[in-house]
Amino acid sequence: MIRIGVNLAVGLPHAPGGNVIDELVEHGRSVAAAGVRTVWLPQGYDHDTLTAYAAIARDVPDVELGASVVVVQPRHPRVLAAQAQTVQAASHGRLTLGLGVSHPGLLDVYDIPFARPVDALRRHLDVLLPILAGERVPGSSGPGSSPDETSVNGATPPVPVLLGALGPAMLRLAGERTSGTITFLAGPRTIGEHVVPLLTAAAESAGRPRPRVVAGLPVAVTADPDRVRAEVAAAYRALAALPSYRTSLDREGFAGLGDIVIAGDEDEVAAELQRYADLGATDALVSRVGNTEERNRTLHLLGKLSSGAASAPRSP
């Protein structure tokens, strides 16, 4: 069975006057109590994912903490390496660091152009990956260049890195340099005929282990799948216009993002998740959608499925 993870950012209560970190901790506790062994947290414009994980790690033990994903352009790779190693130490080795490059127009708030994103990520990895591996950054010299000066005590094992990748060039980079990819809103055809073959071939050519393929999907155990799909289509409408997601939707033959939702009763949802596993996905990153009762039913099912899920590969 596919390994199950839950998106902590979806379904937060956001109570008036509440504290988002307290809410994330409570959400993480409920997911872990249900039996799910991986949580994921995206990086937005508000709370900082890695800082949040340093807090969550102490209150939610024994679950993998996946960042899905941190956009690299606003962060110097040495700063990001320090943040990641700090969380790795706080969590005693449970962090998986997902990295991405955002989309055209979404970096404007940082006054950063969206230019040559694959090259930007490659340059970032040139500095970040050696530091995470405890090695000297090629060509670096002076203070702060020695591995002894950039390591964080207790931050072992090395932090696994995944890339948010859908395009061919980004998938090749992920396979060649990292442990795999995190996709979002990529349907079965995209996973099975595009992501898995390109990523696997790149990893094999680079002599790397089988890559991890994390499929980010909206999921609901519900008696009214049409309503849930319509709600998701409305909520995610702006995403459907972004080029990378539009390409994936067109590849699937989907009219809108509602078509990608996995929705139905327990057996139907389990069968669809297994379909992704059969196509080569190692993980499902589940965003629970629907009303409160439906999200609770979904979490209950995910916990049951997780009890029989094999561990996903974790290579640095």
Q: Which domains does the chain have, with CATH numbers?
A: 3-306 (3.20.20.30)
- Give the tens place of pLDDT for each residue, 59-95: 999 999 999 999 999 999 999 999 999 999 999 999 9
What are the structure tokens assigned to 242, written together? 């972004």
What are the structure tokens assigned to 112, written together? 């950063």
- Give the tens place of pLDDT for each residue, 192-203: 999 999 999 999
- Mean pLDDT (the chain) is 92
| Residue 58, number of CB atoms within 10 A of its CB | 10
Kindly report each contact of residues 250-257 with a partner whose C-beta sits within 8 Å and lies 24 or more positions away, as own/partner.
251/187, 251/189, 251/190, 251/194, 252/187, 252/188, 252/189, 252/190, 253/189, 254/187, 257/185, 257/232, 257/233
- pLDDT at site 309: 53
- pLDDT at site 136: 95
Residue 244 predicted with pLDDT over 90: no
- Write down the pTM of the prediction: 0.93
Residue 257 predicted with pLDDT over 90: no
Environment class of 74 (CB within 10 Å of its CB; exposed 0-12, middle 13-18, buried 19+):
middle
Round to whole Å and give the CA distance between 316 and 256: 36
Strand partners, 216: 184, 285
Contact 47, 89 (CB under 8 A): no
- Give the tens place of pLDDT for each residue, 154-176: 888 999 999 999 999 999 999 99
- pLDDT at site 16: 78
- Least confident window among 21-25, 108-112, 203-207, 266-270: 108-112
- pLDDT at site 312: 42
Residue 310 predicted with pLDDT over 70: no
Top pLDDT among 14 and 253 is at 253
Contact 215, 38 (CB under 8 A): no
Residue 1 predicted with pLDDT over 90: no
